[in-house]
Chains A and B, each alone.
Chain A
Amino acid sequence: MIKVTENLAVNLPDEGNWDIVIEPQANLLDIKLKDVWQYRDLLFLFVKRDITAQYKQTILGPLWHFIQPVFTTIVFVMVFGKIANIPTDGIEPVLFYMSGITIWNYFSSCLNSTSGTFVANAGIFGKVYFPRLVIPLSTMMSNMVKFGIQFFLLIVAIGYFGLTNGSFYFGFSWLLVPLLVIMMAAMGLGAGIIISSLTTKYRDFTVLIGFAVQLLMYATPVAYPLSYLKNESVINVVRYNPLTPIIEAFRFSLFNKGDFNGFQLLYSSIFIIVVLFIGLIIFSKVERTFMDTV
């Protein structure tokens, strides 16, 4: 009796015990998150590479990340504040623009850098296998560092205006900030990997994405508050933009001023989850054969 089972045990594994099966078609939902977990060391090394390589042979190093939000804020204060006279929901204009720019920049840099995943990394993808998702995840995380630096600048600005004007707010709503940042990251990642997957064979979208992100900023209350909008059709465009509630909630959590609507944020969350899910499916379908067409 024992012998029989032993024989079975010897014969069976040869047929079904394969670790890797390479086949033309894969399950639609085969996203391989487990593989990504196995390659987590690679993920962190890519993040480290992106960050350290960026500042090699520069003198100011990470300080360069201050330049962009500072100058953009100055321009926004001049154009939207001084020339167009757009109100800022009772928030100090510099802080209003800077907060919007900081969180928007994170989204746009996530989207821009992940949307080039396949094309930019074709060289390395063609030579070695690792879960392709590691690359967009790592760019998202290294952009997070850049965001951290710019957020620090924002905190400094908040502190400065708090000391000079005495209007300083610090409360539990600050706890919302990490969630909002993660939502922005997920949105950037989801949209980015969809675009990346669409551009492997036909590059048409790459042309589009650069200015589409810029235009999208104007449909998001970065340079103006949602409450300023009067025209019905314009309001609807901006309101149904899933990024709007995040920006508004970001300002609300930092300054306790402006519109904040929990349902709106829920709408954004659902939208983001759907985009991310679709993105993951398309991405893992495309990653299997994109080397043939890229």
Chain B
Amino acid sequence: MSSPVTVWRNHKNLRNYLGKKAAVLVWTKIYIAPEGFEHEAPYFVAIVKLEDGRKMPLQMVECEEKDLTPNRKVTLVVRKLGKVGLDKVIEYGVKAKPRS
């Protein structure tokens, strides 16, 4: 996970994504996770396209497999990223949640 100063710097950008709307392009379900994400496996990650045309990979939250169809509408939310590191700093990041 990132160092405290990197977390502090990254957190300043989160407001730029909060509440943005996007659509799912492709998705996968990860069974073998990297270090820091093992406790969340299996979990979904999708490449989403924002309304302004930008594309980005995001972990999906509050989501089931049936929600993941091409062009499924999602909203960007802020959530905790992975495990808390040895320095006890909680890192937050952007994830995507299906729109009801």
Do A and B share a complex? no
